[in-house]
């Protein structure tokens, strides 16, 4: 039977980030991955996250919170060492855990205060699992024969088992889709320029990013929140990207989404949600954005559980799901847009 001809997946970045809106809170986060001792040696992850308030005059931003970590991870995704900056009690209890859904369960059980506080550290810790899954993509950008070497090292049987494990884990990898073909997908997954995250007109719009020599992977997020006191809503503009360094310079992206949402500032009901696929690996991937509409009418502060319930496995895209889950802290971020009580009065910032 002839192979179906598929359209190319989206390949256009929205970078750089837009300038910060006035009267807004921006959360940025990144996890950078390096292999200082080679692809079979432990990988190093450096996570950073920051919340920045931009005043009504659009001037200098005010730091609200920041957090980060540094860890070492074995080839089987077991965390062998981790520290938080600033230090946080309990983070070292993650040593011995493996990247994956079990790690996310451990975070909820052992560090619930980070979730309750909307701490930016939680976002990058929660992102360890997804980063561990995808970050080996960086080696394919450094060594053209990386896939063949991996196949030789693991053997055909183990490679077939890995492919079987991927089947139906997400919308793009449904059984029969192009990403599961033995010969690989019909379109190059590494031809999309990642662009630059930082906008030259707003250098304060991103925290300091970690970089290193050699193969490197980065998962980056941005969430802008603006309060509309007239409509009684919160407006959200969010972006997500996975990218890797290239030997010849620059970065190539493999996943990128933009999200725009509106929710009721009082009830936190999601009133509108738009997901835009910008860079994705497989032709079928963009179809996942339709299922995200199931979240309209749900509460924003419950979005982590709603995503798990409504967009599990082939019903959603794992990367879009993570971008949606990251919006759970928007209500906490929006609290910063209220002016503290002063001289016996309290008011909201005017937009």
The string of pLDDT tens digits covering residues 163-174 is 556 787 787 778
Query: 236: which strand partners?
Result: 225, 261
* Residue 145: exposure state from Cβ atoms within 10 A (0-12, 13-18, ≥19): exposed
Write out the chain in H/E/C secondary structure.
Answer: CCCCCCCCCCECCCCCCCCCCCCEEEEEEEEEEECCCCCCCCEEEEEEEEEEEECCCCCCCEEEEEEEEEEEECCCCEEEEEEEECCCCCHHHHCCCECCHHHHHHHHHHCHHHHHHCCHHHHHHHCHHHHHHHCCHHHHCCCCCHHHHHHHHHCHHHHHHHHHHHCCCCHHHCCCCHHHCCCCCCCCCCCCECCCCCCCCCHHHCCCCCCCCCCEEEEEEEEEEEEECCCCEEEEEEEEEEEEECCCCCEEEEEEEEEEEEEECCCCEEEEEEEEEEECCCCCHHHHHHHHHHHCCCEHHHHHHHHHHHCCHHHCCHHHHHHHHHHHHHHHHHHCCEEEEECCEEEECCC
- DSSP bridge pairs for 48: 30, 68
Per-residue pLDDT, averaged over 234-260, amounts to 95
| Tens of pLDDT, residues 12-23 | 999 999 999 999
Average pLDDT over residues 175-186: 71
Query: What pTM does this model have?
Result: 0.90
Nearest to 30 by CA among 317, 239, 303: 239
Task: Taking residues 105-120, report their average pLDDT.
Answer: 95
Pairwise CA distance, residues 221 & 256, whole Å: 10
Query: Is 271 or 344 the better-scoring residue by pLDDT?
Result: 271
Say if residue 32's pLDDT is above 60: yes
What is residue 280's predicted lDDT score, i.e. its pLDDT? 93
pLDDT at res. 346: 33
pLDDT per residue over 189-237, tens digit each?
668 999 999 999 999 999 999 988 889 999 999 999 999 999 999 999 9
Kindly tell me the sign of the dihedral angle through the C-alpha atoms of 124, 126, 127, 132: positive
Q: What is the pLDDT of residue 150?
A: 63
- The more confident residue out of 145 and 345 is 145
Residue 228 token pair: 């509309």
- In this structure, what token pair is assigned to residue 101? 């859904």
What is the rounded distance in angstroms from the CA atom of residue 259 to the CA atom of residue 93?
33
Q: What is the mean pLDDT of residues 296-320?
A: 94
């Amino acid at each position: 039977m002839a192979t179906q001809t598929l359209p190319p997946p989206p390949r256009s970045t929205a970078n750089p980030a837009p300038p910060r809106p006035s009267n807004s809170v921006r959360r940025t986060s990144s996890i950078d991955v390096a292999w200082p001792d080679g692809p079979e040696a432990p990988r190093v992850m450096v996570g950073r996250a920051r919340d920045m308030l931009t005043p009504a005059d659009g001037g200098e931003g005010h730091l609200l919170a920041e957090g980060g970590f540094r860890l070492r991870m074995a080839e089987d995704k077991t965390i062998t060492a981790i520290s938080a900056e600033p230090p946080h009690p309990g983070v070292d209890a993650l040593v011995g855990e493996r990247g994956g859904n079990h790690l996310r369960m451990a975070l909820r059980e052992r560090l619930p205060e980070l979730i309750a506080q909307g701490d930016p550290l939680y976002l990058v810790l929660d992102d360890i699992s997804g980063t561990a899954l995808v970050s080996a993509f960086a080696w394919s950008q450094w060594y053209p024969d990386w896939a063949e070497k991996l196949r030789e090292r693991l053997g055909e049987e183990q490679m077939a088992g890995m492919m079987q494990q991927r089947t139906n884990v997400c919308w793009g990898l449904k059984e029969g889709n192009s990403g599961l073909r033995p010969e690989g997908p019909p379109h190059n997954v590494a031809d999309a320029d990642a662009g630059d995250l930082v906008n030259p007109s707003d250098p304060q719009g991103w925290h300091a990013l970690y970089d290193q020599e050699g193969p490197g992977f980065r998962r980056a997020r941005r969430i802008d929140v603006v309060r509309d006191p007239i409509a009684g809503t919160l407006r959200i503009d969010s972006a997500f990207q996975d990218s890797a360094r290239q030997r010849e310079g620059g970065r190539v992206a493999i996943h990128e989404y933009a999200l725009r949402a509106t929710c009721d500032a009082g009830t936190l009901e999601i009133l509108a949600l738009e997901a835009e696929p910008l860079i994705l690996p497989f032709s079928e991937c963009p179809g996942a954005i339709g299922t995200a509409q199931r979240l309209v009418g749900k509460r924003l502060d419950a979005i982590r559980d709603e995503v798990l319930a409504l967009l599990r496995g082939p019903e959603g895209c794992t990367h879009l799901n993570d971008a949606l889950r990251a919006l759970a802290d928007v209500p906490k971020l929006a609290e910063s847009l209220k002016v503290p009580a002063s001289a016996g009065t309290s008011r909201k910032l005017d937009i």
